């Protein structure tokens, strides 16, 4: 039975709001962590050490999905939201505040998605989409600039470096999104690939360098 478009739209909106809430909470808590007792390396280990173990049965059951993703697509999604993404995003939060991260990472990510899809997949951008993407970029710049002015924050080199890391994190997550959309891949399986892949590739390096601290 085909569900009406309004029902699908409502479900999509609910999932979107849930994703935004999770992302916002992660940004705030990670900012607290990296400015107190943890660093970006610890955050990535905590994130994927737990998630990789919990989702490993999904990976065992469904495999690596090379028939749909290929080795390149598999590498892109593991890097796009795996340990490289977590390290870059958490590293940026060490140098710049969480509200800047919200504007420049998940906020700008749709802009990178559109650009990658246009360049790599040849998608055409309608006038409406171009306007929407321009508003996203303008809104991100206003948020970052307004907070800096409101709190008299110094525009330091370290803060600028944090912004660059946020934008790079947005690019990585956009690459993940484009590959997922193009492959029409199952979200739970993708989460298992990302988490378990990061667990197997990153955690041994982390433990070898940092021990069990």
Instruction: State how far the Cα of 98 lies from the Cα of 163, in Å rounded to an integer.
Output: 11
Band of the pLDDT at 119, cuts 50, 70, 90? Answer: confident
> Nearest-CA neighbor of 183 among 74, 101, 84, 104?
74
How confident is the model at residue 148, as a pLDDT? 61
pLDDT tens for residues 144-193?
776 666 555 556 778 889 889 999 999 999 999 999 888 888 889 999 99
Instruction: State how far the Cα of 130 lies from the Cα of 40, in Å rounded to an integer.
Output: 35
How confident is the model at residue 32, as a pLDDT? 92
pLDDT tens for residues 13-70?
898 899 888 888 998 999 999 998 899 999 999 999 999 999 999 999 998 888 888 8
pLDDT tens for residues 78-116?
999 999 999 999 999 999 888 888 888 888 888 899 888
Instruction: State how far the Cα of 117 lies from the Cα of 175, in Å rounded to an integer.
Output: 9
Instruction: State how far the Cα of 79 lies from the Cα of 72, in Å rounded to an integer.
Output: 11
């Amino acid at each position: 039975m085909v569900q009406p478009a309004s029902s699908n739209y409502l479900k999509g909106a609910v999932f979107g709001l849930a994703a935004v809430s999770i992302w916002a909470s992660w940004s705030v808590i990670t900012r607290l962590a990296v400015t107190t007792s943890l660093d970006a390396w610890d955050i990535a280990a905590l994130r994927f050490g737990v998630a990789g173990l919990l989702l490993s049965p999904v990976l065992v059951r469904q495999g690596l999905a090379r028939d749909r993703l290929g080795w390149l697509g598999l590498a892109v999604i593991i890097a796009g939201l795996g340990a490289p993404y977590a390290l870059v995003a958490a590293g940026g939060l060490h140098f710049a505040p969480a509200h800047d991260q919200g504007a420049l990472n998940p906020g700008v990510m749709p802009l990178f998605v559109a650009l990658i899809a246009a360049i790599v997949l040849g998608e055409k951008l309608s006038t409406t989409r171009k306007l929407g993407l321009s508003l996203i970029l303008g809104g991100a710049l206003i948020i970052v600039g307004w907070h800096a002015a409101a709190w008299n924050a110094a525009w330091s080199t370290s803060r600028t470096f944090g912004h660059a890391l946020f934008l790079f994190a947005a690019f990585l997550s956009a690459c993940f999104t484009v590959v997922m959309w193009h492959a029409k891949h199952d979200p739970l399986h993708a989460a298992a690939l990302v988490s378990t892949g990061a667990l197997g590739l990153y955690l041994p390096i982390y433990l070898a360098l940092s021990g069990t601290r």
